[in-house]
A and B are shown apart, each in its own frame.
Chain A
Amino acid sequence: MAINYNIPEYDVLRDPQRCIACRVCERQCANEVHSFDPDSGTMKSDESKCVNCHRCVALCPTHALKIVKNPDTFRLNAYWGQNDISEIYRQAETGGMLLSSMGNPKPYPIYWDKILINASQVTNPSIDPLREPMETRTFLGKKPGAIERNPDGSIKTDSLPPQLKLEVPILFSAMSYGSISYNAHQSLARAAQELGTYYNTGEGGLHEDFYKYGPNTIVQVASGRFGVHHDYLEAGAAIEIKIGQGAKPGIGGHLTGAKITDAVSRTRMIPKGTDAISPAPHHDIYSIEDLRQLVYSLKEATEYKKPIIVKIAAVHNVAAIASGIARSGADIIAIDGFRGGTGAAPTRIRDNVGIPIELALAAVDERLRQEQIRSNVSLIVAGGIRNSADVVKAIALGADAVYIATPALIALGCHLCRTCQIGKCNWGIATQRPDLVKRLNPDIGYKRLMNLVSAWQHEIMEMMGGMGINSIEAMRGNRLMLRGVGLNEKELEILGIKHAGE
Chain B
Amino acid sequence: MNRIDANGRDFRALNEEIRAAGQEILIENCMGQRYIAAGMSGVSLTIQGIPGNALGCYLNGGTIRVHGNAQDQTGDTMNSGTIVVDGSCGDATGYSMRGGKILVRGNAGYRVGIHMKAYREQQPLIVVGGETGSFLGEYQAGGTIIVLGIGSEKKAPVGNLCGTGMHGGKMFLRAEELPADLPPQVAASKATEEDMAEIDGYLEEFCAAFSMEKQSLFDRPFYVLRPNSANPYQNLYTFN
A141 CB to nearest B CB, Å: 18
Tell me whether B76 and A284 are in contact (CB under 8 A).
yes
Q: A279 contacts which chain B residues (CB < 8 A)?
A: 139, 165
> Which residue of A has the minimal Cβ distance to B114?
A283
> Which residue of A has the minimal Cβ distance to B119?
A269
A85 CB to nearest B CB, Å: 13
Given A270-B117, A273-B230, A283-B138, A96-B35 contact (CB < 8 Å): no
Q: B239 contacts which chain A residues (CB < 8 A)?
A: 99, 419, 421-422
Taken together as a complex, chains A and B put the C-alpha atoms of A224 and B232 apart, in Å, by: 16
B73 within 8 A of A: yes
Tell me whether B237 and A99 are in contact (CB under 8 A).
yes
Main secondary structure of the interface of A (DSSP, over half): mixed
Most buried by A among B11, B35, B240: B240
Tell me whether B98 and A300 are in contact (CB under 8 A).
no
Q: A99 contacts which chain B residues (CB < 8 A)?
A: 237-240
Tell me whether B235 and A96 are in contact (CB under 8 A).
yes
Taken together as a complex, chains A and B put the C-alpha atoms of A277 and B91 apart, in Å, by: 20
Q: Mark A238-272, 1 if CB is under 8 A from B, else 0.
A: 00000000000000001011000000010001110
Tell me whether B77 and A225 are in contact (CB under 8 A).
yes
Taken together as a complex, chains A and B put the C-alpha atoms of A94 and B73 apart, in Å, by: 41
> Which residue of B has the minimal Cβ distance to A302?
B39
Taken together as a complex, chains A and B put the C-alpha atoms of A96 and B237 apart, in Å, by: 4
A157 within 8 A of B: no
Given A229-B98, A293-B54, A97-B237 contact (CB < 8 Å): yes
Given A269-B98, A300-B12, A275-B115 contact (CB < 8 Å): no
Tell me whether B38 and A297 are in contact (CB under 8 A).
yes
B172 within 8 A of A: no
A13 within 8 A of B: no
Tell me whether A87 and B115 are in contact (CB under 8 A).
no
B168 within 8 A of A: yes
Residues of chain A at interface, number, CB under 8 A: 46
Q: Which of A95, A230, A273 contacts B58 (CB 8 A)?
A: A230
Given A233-B39, A270-B141, A284-B77 contact (CB < 8 Å): no
Q: B122 contacts which chain A residues (CB < 8 A)?
A: 269
Q: B95 contacts which chain A residues (CB < 8 A)?
A: 225, 283-284
Q: A304 contacts which chain B residues (CB < 8 A)?
A: 12
Tell me whether B240 and A98 are in contact (CB under 8 A).
yes
Tell me whether A297 and B76 are in contact (CB under 8 A).
yes
A411 CB to nearest B CB, Å: 26
B51 within 8 A of A: no
B231 within 8 A of A: yes
Q: B115 contacts which chain A residues (CB < 8 A)?
A: 223-225, 283
Q: B235 contacts which chain A residues (CB < 8 A)?
A: 96
B142 within 8 A of A: yes
Q: B72 contacts which chain A residues (CB < 8 A)?
A: 284
A228 within 8 A of B: yes
Taken together as a complex, chains A and B put the C-alpha atoms of A96 and B96 apart, in Å, by: 29
Tell me whether B168 and A274 are in contact (CB under 8 A).
yes
A91 within 8 A of B: yes
Q: Mark A479-495, 1 if CB is under 8 A from B, else 0.
A: 00000000000000000
Q: A233 contacts which chain B residues (CB < 8 A)?
A: 39, 58
Taken together as a complex, chains A and B put the C-alpha atoms of A213 and B239 apart, in Å, by: 35
A460 CB to nearest B CB, Å: 36
Tell me whether B111 and A230 are in contact (CB under 8 A).
no
Taken together as a complex, chains A and B put the C-alpha atoms of A134 and B114 apart, in Å, by: 51
Q: A228 contacts which chain B residues (CB < 8 A)?
A: 58, 77, 96
A100 within 8 A of B: yes
Tell me whether A254 and B233 are in contact (CB under 8 A).
yes
Most buried by A among B95, B117, B118: B117
Taken together as a complex, chains A and B put the C-alpha atoms of A284 and B238 apart, in Å, by: 31
Tell me whether B54 and A297 are in contact (CB under 8 A).
yes
Taken together as a complex, chains A and B put the C-alpha atoms of A426 and B235 apart, in Å, by: 25
Q: Mark B205-240, 1 if CB is under 8 A from A, else 0.
A: 000000000000000000000000011111111111
Given A100-B240, A301-B38, A277-B141 contact (CB < 8 Å): yes
Taken together as a complex, chains A and B put the C-alpha atoms of A233 and B40 apart, in Å, by: 12
Taken together as a complex, chains A and B put the C-alpha atoms of A4 and B11 apart, in Å, by: 63
B144 within 8 A of A: no
> Which residue of B has the minimal Cβ distance to A221?
B77
Tell me whether A230 and B79 are in contact (CB under 8 A).
yes
What would 14 A/B residue contacts be, using CB atoms closer than 8 Å?
A96-B236, A97-B238, A98-B237, A225-B77, A225-B96, A228-B58, A229-B58, A230-B39, A230-B60, A277-B139, A293-B34, A293-B54, A300-B15, A302-B39
- Report the 3 A-B pairs with minimum CB-CB distance, sorted nearest first: A301-B39, A96-B238, A300-B38
**Sample of 14 more A-B contacts, CB < 8 Å, known A271-B118, A300-B38:** A90-B238, A99-B239, A224-B96, A225-B98, A256-B233, A269-B98, A270-B142, A274-B141, A277-B165, A279-B165, A283-B95, A293-B73, A297-B34, A301-B38
